Structure 1
């Protein structure tokens, strides 16, 4: 896996040698925890800062200022949380230290041929003179092969005035135990009708097979302790539709608005998927063509029809009935919008467009914090071979694995408007020198030709002036 990520990383560094200073704006990427890959939703500041119709003027940089592998993609499912939760076997371990005589404790573990636990039993020898409540418990997490995030405890008694503290350790072989939580506290208190109850013990995601709970306080014993384990997984998908008001204008490029043509601009340019046209007059109807362009001032040949539908607004008994949303055919981001009506309309319709923000996915190559750079007239991210890395991650962590979800901070200026100006083309001195040599050679050849022609003309004149022989 490391080799695969390294190969992708080398491709990233070879494919893009730019830095955050080559982009108009930069936005901090906020991450929590560790993950091989991250993803986040592109917000309005990204769409406003990008000047490329396909959002290719974006880049993600690590703390060393190196570009990391990234891609932009839509996803199909909504964001969700998937929780796996189940009761786990709890075995109370006798505490011979409190009994009054020596007690030897033996743990009997029996597994089948596949290594699954078949029997777990604590046996003790010796007779403690005083019966004691258990202060230590063993939990089997065989049902959670991908780990757990928390425990939730419950017990039969007491149900009030309880504050209990635990030390939690984990193991795979029941011999070596790792400390997972040194001071986990559960509370159950009721007073004057108010009840405070906290029975969860949070754990960093652990894949250890067994847990051991050790009661560290001297409070009331817990009778009938039982436990449920849980694992919460965040699944990222496509965001809900967001709506953007289109601004009506009188002129776009070579076109002027009139009674059958209405012009609009979108700020920022977005990958619109739906449009809602609200006619301004009651009891009106119009056959509309929706045309779009990624340009700010599109030429006549730069408009693409994205929808055709009938818009209407009917008023009956005080109720308004109008057309719904119309779907747009797929295409690039829309910056300019145009409505062509088959019949004249009294006023420009009100237009809103719907879009689903795309997600940017990147591999966490190098150390964070990571930075998103936005907006450049010349820089474009290459097509990184990210998919093999994701396939490898899913093969290890399961087909439902998704990159962790990050979010964006506040945008700040980097190179500013300078990054949005096209770079000046350097003077091609070799080309000019070649043309100079060619023109000079042509002049020399022309001069020689003229000299030869003049010499030939003078010779013929001398021949004509010679007298005839007698």
Structure 2
């Protein structure tokens, strides 16, 4: 049994070593890379020509080779949508809240507001004979329509030490919801003083805030109040577009496109050549010719005058399915898209390639091998101290798409039959068969004991 295990292990090792000997000639298309800056890492924005030339939509058959034909280590990064937080500080108005010193409780208010909801007057609804005591403050945040994340208080007087208060939020001054508790502090030691003025808020919008001190005798006189808001904005994932492709007219109002490769399409852009165009359209798609057509998207494309200028909608979002054939149907009631068959450009999510340059230039990007498996590394493995900031600072390289045809011609000129590789495979298989025969003979030999 140990002999068989050794035979299998040796066979797998030999096969792996043969598979690892990849060459640029194994790939249908090669594109030179132009380097800018000093490496050793380079970042490449992959154009649509690379996606079209690949045999797989996920680019598993992409490789980078140096001048000696050695494969380079690389990573692929798919474009992602980005979210950004924008913070802004706002000065707000504040109003004292008093309560009966004997009874305590929550202050009662009489409120007047302007037509847009801004607080213009707030008075205590307390009896004239009541002994009033400052309980806290009401903050008018009605001019802020985004989530509130931080409160900053500046005060005079009041005792030193820690001051705790409850925070409540409201949109109508009638119904209040708890936002937890806040704490500020003023500490002195000799000639040094420490003020803790900031209180974190739960990142929710509110028109009014009510601050009620746990110990009313500690409630300070406020000198300034600011609120910090946070607005979150997002940008969609970057796209890479193809050149416009002419459609094949199937019938009146029906057109088809055949992509060089099945790709996960994100958007389509139809060229509207004629002004005053209005066209309801439907897109269908499929990955292979034997597959049935299925609905992809629909919408209305137009190019129309409005207020002395021209407005147009010539793009439609797609669900990201992997498709190769697309069919467009145009509703004739809108007048169609013109006399000529329309052209369309297609977009996929942009992909960045990062590779570690080793050996001598020039470096070439190779694609187009159906039997290839992915050789991409995780970006954190390729760059051990990887960070988004370092990625942005990497040297750049560009794919010379215009030189790809010359590279293809050189590859096609080489003989298709690689006798050296076939001979190596023959020797390998013969060796494996010989070892397997020896193992079988040993197993059939009777035990002498």
Could you say which TM-score interval applies, normalised by the shorter chain? 0.3 to 0.5
Higher Rg of the two aligned structures: 1
Question: Structure 1-normalised TM-score?
Answer: 0.41
